[in-house]
Amino acid sequence: MAEERDADIPIVPLLGVQKPAESLVSPIDRRSDFYRHAALVVPHKPVPQPLMTIPNVLTFFRLLLVPVLLAVWELRYKLTPTICAVIFIAASVTDYFDGYLARKLKIATVFGAFLDPVADKIMVATTLVLLAVSPPAPWSPQYMTAPVVLIICREITMSALREWAAAAGGGASKAVKVNTLGKWKTALQMVSMSVLLVVRQDIGDLFPHRADSRIFLDISRLAFVGLWAGTVLGLWSLAIYFANVWVHFIYPEAKKHH
């Protein structure tokens, strides 16, 4: 999100938002200025950056889990739903640790900053499509269509907005800094999707002495509500991003004078 706008650019109100609230700026932004741009600071003699750093290996691993997830999904093995959930949770864990290690060890790379969000979105989109095709009881594909479409469309729009902001530079790039709503959105979606994958499993396969399927039905309902909550937060955060960058759409030629 924008920390401050260019001094000579007039502020155009949108949705009552002129400046992002400081409380919405995420204190843990893995695509922060450091994570995205620190690797661009090179010495006078350029030195090639290593590709196989620990964070990048984790990101590659998350990307490779996508075809593994698809293959397991098609196995139709008794424990396939649980195994798919484990794969997705493993991907979510690497999503946290690759960014954390890149910051902690100060080994962020330009390629890693590019690949990280790509791997995230491919895994999430793949899992959402699979859940829409074969959701857990009591849901049908009809119920899953709306949140799945909204989440995927939001991510596509956000990616395009970040790409434009990066090209525009200046205040525009600051305006799309990750906010806390985006963090909560991600957490809700990851947890909800993990649970929805698990409850596709027959409860009797996991707990032979507790075969009351109503428990998984109730959990499935809660997870579905959580998925919708994450969807709403995602759309809300997208609206805030657009509010922050709108002035740069209206005044694309304006530059800050030193």
Q: Summarize the confidence of residues 1-22 as an average pLDDT.
A: 43
DSSP letter string over 194-239? HHHHHTTS-HHHH-TT---THHHHHHHHHHHHHHHHHHHHHHHHHH
d(CA 125, CA 106): 30
> Alpha carbon of 117 to those of 95, 104, 113: distances in Å?
9, 19, 7
d(CA 249, CA 255): 13
Diameter of the chain by CA atoms?
73
129-143, 151-165, 206-220: least confident range: 206-220
DSSP assignment letter at 169: -
* Tokens matching residue 66: 């996508």
d(CA 112, CA 117): 9
> pLDDT for 103-153, tens place per residue?
888 888 888 888 888 999 999 999 999 999 999 999 999 999 999 999 999
Q: Helix (H, G, I), strand (E, B), or coil: what is residue 45?
A: coil
- Residue 2's pLDDT is 38
Is the pLDDT at 77 greater than 80, yes or no?
yes
- Residue 150's pLDDT is 97
CB 147 within 8 A of CB 228: yes
- Residue 51's pLDDT is 76
pLDDT above 70 coverage of the chain, percent: 78
Task: Answer yes or no: pTM beyond 0.85.
Answer: no
Is the pLDDT at 16 greater than 90, yes or no?
no
d(CA 235, CA 216): 28
- Domains belonging to the chain, first-starting first, are 22-42+50-250 (1.20.120)
- Please state the φ and ψ torsions of residue 143, each to the nearest 5 degrees: -75, -30
- Residue 29's pLDDT is 56
41-55, 169-183, 190-204, 231-245: least confident range: 41-55
Q: Summarize the confidence of residues 49-73 as an average pLDDT.
A: 90
DSSP assignment letter at 109: -
Q: Summarize the confidence of residues 10-36 as an average pLDDT.
A: 49
CB 79 within 8 A of CB 201: yes
The overall average pLDDT reported for the chain is 81
Place of tokens 């997830």: 69
Q: Summarize the confidence of residues 40-66 as an average pLDDT.
A: 80
Is the pLDDT at 95 greater than 80, yes or no?
yes
DSSP letter string over 5-32? --TTSPP--BTTBSS--GGGB-S--TTS
Neighbours of 212 (CB within 10 A): 10
> pLDDT for 186-201, tens place per residue?
999 999 999 999 999 8
